[in-house]
Amino acid sequence: MIKVDTYKYIKDLHIRERKSIRQISREVGLSRQTIRKILYQSLEDVTTYKRQAPPPAPLRNQFGAIIRQWLLDDQKRPPKQRHNSQRIFERLTEEYDFTGGASTVRKWVREIKKELNLERIEAFLPLDHDPKGYAQCDWTPAVAKINGQDVVGEIFLLRFSYSKAFYIRFYPHQRQEAFFDAHEHAFAFFGGVPSQILYDNLKTAVKRVLVGRQREEQDAFLKFRAHHGFESQFCNVAKGNEKGIVEGLARYVKNHIFTPVPEFTSIEALNEWLEECCRKLNNRPRGKQKISFQDRFAEEKDLLRPLSIHTFDCCSRKEVKVNRFSLITFDKNQYSVPVDYVGRLLTVKGYVHEIRIYDKQTLVACYPRSYDSGQQYFKLEHYLKLLERKPRAVGQAKPVRQANLPAIFTQYHLEVLKKDPQNGNKQFVALLLLLRQYSVDLLATAIEKALETGIVAVDAVQAALEVAVRDKTRAVSENTSAEINVSPTNTVAPVQISRYQELIQGGKSA
Question: Is residue 2 within 8 Å of residue 49, measured between CB atoms?
Answer: no
Residue 162 has pLDDT above 70, yes or no: yes
Give the per-residue SS3 of 299-310.
Answer: HHHHHCECCCCC
For the chain, the helix, strand and coil percentages under 3-state DSSP, each to the nearest 5: 50, 15, 35
CA gap 161, 414 in Å, rounded: 69
Q: How confident is the model at residue 130 (pLDDT cuts 50, 70, 90)?
A: confident
Farthest-apart Cα atoms in the chain, separation? 151
Cα distance from N-terminal residue to C-terminal residue, the chain = 133
CA gap 126, 210 in Å, rounded: 28
CA gap 494, 488 in Å, rounded: 18
CA gap 501, 507 in Å, rounded: 10
Burial 171-209 (b: 16+ CB within 10 A, else e): bbebbbbbbbbbbbbbbebbebbbbebbbbbbebbbeee
Q: Note the pLDDT tens digit of each residue in 445-476.
A: 888 888 888 777 888 888 888 877 777 777 66
Preceding omega of 260 cis (within 30 degrees of 0): yes
DSSP secondary structure, 259-277, as one string: SSPPEESSHHHHHHHHHHH
Q: Note the pLDDT tens digit of each residue in 330-378.
A: 999 999 999 999 999 999 999 999 999 999 999 999 999 998 889 999 9
What DSSP designation does 255 have?
I
Output 47 or 293, whichever has higher pLDDT.
293
CA gap 244, 240 in Å, rounded: 7
Q: Note the pLDDT tens digit of each residue in 189-209.
A: 999 999 999 999 999 999 998
pLDDT at 106: 92
Give the per-residue SS3 of 336-398.
Answer: ECCHHHCCCEEEEEECCCEEEEEECCEEEEEEECCCCCCCEECCHHHCHHHHHHCHHHHHCCH
Closest CA to 470 of 447, 446, 454, 452: 446
